[in-house]
Amino acid sequence: MNASPLKVAALIFPRFELLDLFGPLELLGLLKDDVTISLVAQVAAPVASNQGPKTIPDLTFEQFEGADVLLVPGGMGTRQEVDNAVLTDWLRTAATRSKYITSVCTGSALLARAGLLDGKRATSNKRAFEWVKSQGPAVHWIPKARWVEDGNIFTSSGISAGMDMTLGLLARLYHRDISLSIAAAAEYIWNEDSANDPFAEEN
Amino acid sequence: MNASPLKVAALIFPRFELLDLFGPLELLGLLKDDVTISLVAQVAAPVASNQGPKTIPDLTFEQFEGADVLLVPGGMGTRQEVDNAVLTDWLRTAATRSKYITSVCTGSALLARAGLLDGKRATSNKRAFEWVKSQGPAVHWIPKARWVEDGNIFTSSGISAGMDMTLGLLARLYHRDISLSIAAAAEYIWNEDSANDPFAEEN
């Protein structure tokens, strides 16, 4: 599919949300030989998710050299990590070394605190929306969207929405037929319209 | 919600499928203080998924004492593990110590080889269906179902179907309102009808 495999790197931090991370990685992983996946953490030690299960990073921040797709999950851990300057500094550097920057759920709060969303359109989890907004006053937050694309930055709504966004990204990177093929392989019912957001609160 | 938290235990083995495991655990994890989650492996060492990311087990087979819900994911690793007598022996014992037994995707091949599905209705991944059937000639395999319930055994179709099955299980364990509340928190569009299987091949 590619001349060289798609390089995917995903940030992990204590109390990341399981599906924010592994939903998108499942779908990207279905590119099989055409993808490499690396998990990146601040230090080389196991990281416990918000639900408990622990994951081992492949790279530390210092070892990260760049990616085609950078994935930033959300989760309760973002409440602490927004104040972790080592992490937000790394995100700024990592963004310059990545072709596409993506976040799921409250992951967009981390991108916002790194300044990467200033002046751009973005979205986040419905139930944490006011808190996320407070992390990025210069961001144009979109309350009703399954996911939002602004240039090379894709941000999704809460948890499960990351999978729909990932298929949208694959349609951009390759072709809609690739997204449909991967959705079928995963037996996943793709909510293909990024504006179709059944969980947006009516205001 | 419960007098004591729901005890969930999930089997992991080399090359398990990421979403088979972490989709259901995400949704069960949204029970928050009302659930405990343990990953169980043959030995106390990190286990690499089919997509690469590595997870650390909480318990070995010997340390497992029982669960309310036992979850068996699928993935390419099942092709080897069906011939792993230590694993299928453990599954038989674990099943006697678990109130509900669930599998996602080709996880039902492991349950079949352990003899746990003999004479019962069950389903599996569409693209591996013939192989899975060959692992359990005495099983009544259902080719068109998002998931199948037979007594205390729930088996789902491929990968993403595990999440729909999990919400079906929560409706059985608690109430449909709990499933709807958890789906909303995860911003997950629940395919609530177990007979609605858009990926079944037309024969």
User: Nearest-CA distance from A5 to chain B in Å?
Assistant: 14
The whole-number pLDDT of residue A33 equals 85
CB contact under 8 A, B26 and A55: no
Q: Which residues of B touch A8 (CB under 8 A)?
A: none
Q: Taking Cα atoms as reference points, which of A44, A20, A199 lies closest to residue A110? A: A20
User: Closest chain B residue to A199 measured between Cα atoms?
Assistant: B187
Q: Which of B105, B114, B173, B183 is catalytic?
A: B105
DSSP secondary structure, B149-178, as one string: EETTEEEESSTTHHHHHHHHHHHHHT-HHH
List Cβ neighbours of B145 (8 Å cut-off, separation of 6 or more).
B123, B157, B194, B195, B197, B200
The whole-number pLDDT of residue A203 equals 41
A33 is catalytic: no
Q: Taking Cα atoms as reference points, which of B194, B20, B16 lies closest to residue B103? A: B20
User: Closest chain A residue to B181 measured between Cα atoms?
Assistant: A199
- Categorise residue B159: left if φ over 0, alpha if ψ from -120 to 50, beta otherwise: left
The whole-number pLDDT of residue B3 equals 66
Indicate the pairing of strand A140-141 with strand A121-122.
parallel
CB contact under 8 A, B18 and A37: no
A176 touching chain B per CB within 8 A: no
Nearest to A19 among B23, B56, B159 (CB): B23
Distance CA B7, CA B17 (A): 22
Nearest to B187 among A50, A160, A189 (CB): A160
Chain A interface test: which of B7, B16, B22, B36 (most A C-beta within 10 Å):
B22
**What interface predicted TM-score (ipTM) does this complex get?**
0.96
B16 touching chain A per CB within 8 A: no
Distance CA A143, CA B8 (A): 34
Q: Per residue of chain B (203 residues), what is the pLDDT tens digit? A: 556 899 999 999 999 999 999 999 999 999 988 999 999 999 999 999 999 999 999 999 999 999 999 999 999 999 999 999 999 999 999 999 999 999 999 999 999 999 999 999 999 999 999 999 999 999 999 999 999 999 999 999 999 999 999 999 999 999 999 999 999 999 999 999 999 999 996 54
